[in-house]
Structure 1
Amino acid sequence: MQQQSESPAIAENVEHRLYRKVVYRIIPFIFVCYVLNYIDRVNVSFAKLQFQGDLHLSDASYGLGVGLFYVGYILFEVPSNLVLQKVGARKTITRIMCLWGLASMAMAFVSSPLQFYLARILLGAAEAGFFPGVILYLTLWFPNRMRGRIMSLFVLAIAVSGMVGGPTSGLIMQHLEGFLGFRNWQWLFLIEGVLPVLMGIAALFVLNDRPRDAKWLSEREKDLLVANLSVEGRIDSRSGLQAFLYALRKPMLWIATFGYFSVTWAGMVLNFWAPTIIQRAGVTNFLHIGLLSAVPYAVGAAGMLVLCYSSDRWLERRWHFFAAVASAGCAAIAIAHAAGDSTLSIACLAVLAVGYLSAIALFWTIPTGFLSEAESAGCIAFISSAGQIGSLIAPVLFGYVSERTGNLTLGACLVALVLFSGGCAVLSLKTSAK
């Protein structure tokens, strides 16, 4: 009897040690890759401080260039994830990272608005599939009950990219002007583009496609990982394309897609306008702008970890998500009224960061809770690509409205409206994760 009472505790301890082993093996590498991904995606917000004049870009033109990134991104998301399902994450992530690194480096040589637009489209096409590919990859290793924490560790890379990328970009912009005949913004793209190429090559040697492929796991450990996923009923015999087309009939998929669409509007403000907001609040030194832009991400990371821990503890997703987007919407409105006050502006950006990062991490626990493994490949990419339509139109509308009105108020109200609508949409979902 004593042996029987100890067995569950022993089994739980074995499982805990196993997943800690898996986390230490996979998450740090994926984490660094996503840090580089986000830095290369948003470093244009720092380059803008200098190249806007060199390329003769208006705020609306800059917003268009930011948004055009998502044209290539949207077009290739679903095909990339369906390919990943066939060839595996290892080769897919290598291909994506090498191409986006080269595309980012090419940004250093644009000399006109048209070239800027084309380079942004190519960068988006190169990056397409990375985020949904990693989300799919994580679902092949971790059961749904762990995904709040696991997704938060992954999304934490967004915050770290802001904390590391901001000061690094500011340092490059402040000190490399004219070095070897290049402008500071050209060095920004060159330096921050070469690292993904190196990490992409390393992915071939570090990652394993599935638990069964991992030589660093014992047969017993592989069996336990696969069994935990099988219990959820996520594995089916349909092809990825068949399952994806069938899943498109589910209203829940479309509602979830709109929820993700709303989150990208908060990301647009934080990732592409934060340096400009800080600069317009009276900070002129590039390095200081970079250092101050790291503060919202640091606060956002702490808030996200707390909210995601709460979500896993209570196994509740939808209301936690709503709280995140609602706080982000309120912060967006507050930012518009904090113009000219650097301290208040940064505080509002911090609240926005908490809401945005939490919403990203929490959101992906919701569709992965009602999709099977076969459905997940195409559907995760579909949600990501369709949701990124927000990233395509939001900066264009925000930049246009800001230029026409001379302030951020109307644009911020539009962002808040979309966020509240997305939060209400997700509340209407009924999933296994509540």
Structure 2
Amino acid sequence: MAQFFTRGSFHSDNEAAAYNRVAWKLIPFLLILYIISFLDRVNVGFAKLQMAADIGLSDAVFGLGAGIFFIGYAACEIPSNILLQRFGARIWISRILVVWGIISICFMFVTTPAQFLTLRFLLGIAEAGFYPGIVLYLTYWFPGKLRSQVCALFFIGIPIAGLIGAPLSGFIMKQMAGTSGYAGWQWLFLLEGLPAVIGGIVTYLYLANGPKDATWLAAPERNIIVGALEAEEATHRAMGHGHRLIDALTSGKVWLLAIINFSLLGGIYGIYFWMPQIVKDLGVKDVFLNGVVTSVPFAVACIIMIAVGRSSDRMRERKWHIIGSAMVGALGLIGGASLTATPALALASLSLAFGGGMAALTVLWVLPSALLTGAANAGGLALMATVGNLGGYVAPYVVGLAKEATGRTDYGLYLMAAVMIVGGLLVQLLPRNSTIDEAEQQDVLKEGSAVGAL
């Protein structure tokens, strides 16, 4: 069987086997859930190609609707992560999935812009906590030395959702149009909303709340994983890292991470929501072919994310991996905006933009768990998601306003590139690697002692 992690990342064959077993049990399933999540979140970009005329949706109102999702989402992130810790991941994640699936299906009955905006806001509330909740859940299983790779394997659901969802959405809208009296975009919301409801039911039956509750783990495997995580937490506490919720909310480092997350997500969501329209403006009018072409940047992003995540863990370096990836993302946005006369080059540039932004995001999300523990870690992850996802509100709206005012999307892309550059530069204000990576190096020593004692 193929391995998620190489033997060189561990102290013994037993340790490698334990973590690879956990990875095979959890990551494919969580990845599927995340793909479902993103399909429901961004399929509105494809639906717009047909529904705008049907319900009288302007570019500015669409941009507002694409972004207003994140207002409801951001407002409920921190409470959701705290409740996940209280009730357990199995119940809470399944609850999120079922509720958001039902609301997503309700979009097929929208007839006015006001209804569209209302449901987008409610969808954000329903889905709040899923993204940071899964990241928090992964910290229950994997130590810091593996988290860049684990985050990359989970976050790869974003480009995979685009890779699968783009042609799938185009196919549904083209082939199902008029079936049973419903438009193609109505079938899109129905068929892409049902998997979330089904996934929520399966989640309740499949997930364990943590390694101590996992009946599928053998006792030696459980001891390796629990021992390593307890040693890591003890190291963080000894180094003075916060463990209370208030420690996260008052930490300048966490707020800085949140602002950087805002800048990266602004660029990523700006591309994601507007990619179908950008590709259409490049001359691809057929909705199915549009979906196929739109999938290219997502395929490129998958490769870049895994490569950068593995490199970051292998080198045990975070800051320059984030900075370099963010700069590549910004240059890609500039190229995508300025090379529209040559569609192939514009598409290649947008592929680099999406891949660079996603790679930077992958490494960034490792840092809160290296600086916080316990309730502070849950709150810190949620705070990062809360502030960061406001970028998902601002970017699509700004691009929509720019397009409505000028008839062009390139001005919005230039602005997002500038924001991504600022985010990359802000990483330099984080503590030097000794503050971030010293904890990880100490964790390695602790893990070695824990494993050697078994």
TM-score (structure 1 length as normaliser): 0.94
User: Post-superposition shift, 1:10?
Assistant: 10
1:71-112 per-residue CA deviation (whole Å, 9 max, x = no partner) reads: 110111111100000111100110000011001000111110
Amino acid at match of 2:338: H
Equivalent in the alignment of 2:392 = 391
Q: What CA deviation, in whole Å up to 9, does each residue of 1:231-279 have, x standing for no partner?
A: 222687xxxx981112222210111111100111111222101110000
- The one-letter amino acid paired with 2:158 is I
The 2-side partners of 1:151 and 1:354 are apart by 14
Letter in 2 for 1:225: I
Q: Which residue of 2 aligns with 1:285?
A: 286
| 1:13-412 matches, cutoff 5 A | 13-233=13-233, 243-412=244-413
Tell me how far apart the structure 2 counterparts of residues 391 and 119 of structure 1 sit (CA, whole Å): 17
Cα deviation 1:29-48 (Å, max 9, x = unaligned): 10100000001101000001
Tell me how far apart the structure 1 counterparts of residues 159 and 22 of structure 2 sit (CA, whole Å).
Answer: 23
Shift of the alpha carbon at 1:61? 1.0
Residues 9 and 353 (structure 1), Cα distance of their counterparts in 2 relative to 1, 3 Å cut? closer
Deviations 1:188-208 (A, max 9, x none): 000000011111100111111
Distance 1:41 1:9, change over 3 A: closer
Q: CA RMSD in A?
A: 1.8
User: Could you say if the C-alpha distance between residues 10 and 343 of structure 1 is closer, same or farther in structure 2, counting changes exceeding 3 Å?
Assistant: closer
Quote the sequence identity (%): 37
1:432 aligned residue: 436
- 8 Å contact kept, 2:266–2:395: yes
Q: Which residue of 2 aligns with 1:3?
A: none
Change in Cα spacing, 1:26 to 1:53, as seen in structure 2 (3 Å) is same
CA contact (8 A) 1:280 1:340 kept: no
- Which whole-Å CA distance do the structure 2 matches of 1:292 and 1:402 have between them? 21
Q: 1:243 to 1:26 in 2, by over 3 A?
A: same
How far apart are the structure 2 equivalents of 1:114 and 1:11?
58
Q: String of CA shifts for 1:312-362, please: whole Å, max 9, x gaps.
A: 110111110111111111111111112253322221121112112212211
CA distance in 2 between partners of 1:369 and 1:307 (Å) = 18
Q: Which amino acid aligns with 1:256?
A: L
CA contact (8 A) 2:145 2:313 kept: yes
Say if 1:282 and 1:341, in contact at 8 Å, map to a contact too: no
Give the superposition deviation at 1:369: 1.1
Kindly indicate whether the alpha-carbon contact (under 8 Å) linking 1:173 and 1:184 is maintained by their aligned counterparts in 2: yes
Quote the offset at 1:120 in angstroms. Answer: 0.2
The aligned length equals: 424
Inter-partner Cα distance in structure 2 for 1:85 and 1:349: 38
User: 2:61 & 2:269 partners in 1: Cα distance?
Assistant: 15
CA distance in structure 2 between the partners assigned to 1:359 and 1:116 by the alignment? 32
Q: Which amino acid aligns with 2:222?
A: K
Question: Could you tell me which amino acid in structure 2 is paired with residue 362 of structure 1?
Answer: V
Q: Which residue type is aligned with residue 322 of structure 1? A: I
The worse-fitting range, judged by mean Cα deviation, of 257-266 and 396-405 is 396-405
SS in 2 for 1:350: helix
What is the rounded CA distance, in whole Å, between the counterparts of 2:360 and 2:174 in structure 1?
A: 33
CA separation in 2, counterparts of 1:225 and 1:374?
20
- Describe the superposition over 1:147-198 as per-residue Cα deviations: whole angstroms up to 9, x where unpaired: 0111110011111111110111010011111000000000000000001111
Letter of the 2:208 partner, please give it: N
Query: For 1:233, what is the secondary structure of its paired residue?
Result: helix
Deviation at 1:24, TM superposition (A): 0.5
Distance 1:423 1:9, change over 3 A: closer
- Separation (CA, whole Å) in 2 of partners of 1:233 and 1:206: 27
Contact between 1:70 and 1:124, CA under 8 Å: does it hold in 2?
yes
* Partner AA of 2:179 in structure 1: F
Residues 113-172 of structure 1, C-alpha deviations (whole Å, 9 max, x = no match)? 000000100111110000000000000100000001111100111111111101110100
Distance 1:114 1:134 in 2: 32
Report the TM-score when normalising by structure 2.
0.90
Cα deviation code 1:263-309 (max 9, x no counterpart): 11111222101110000000111110011111111111111111111
Matched position secondary structure for 2:177: coil
What is the alpha-carbon distance in structure 2 between the residues aligned to residue 85 and residue 386 of structure 1?
Answer: 21
Unaligned runs of 5+ in 2: 1-7, 439-454
CA distance in 1, matches of 2:363, 2:10: 30
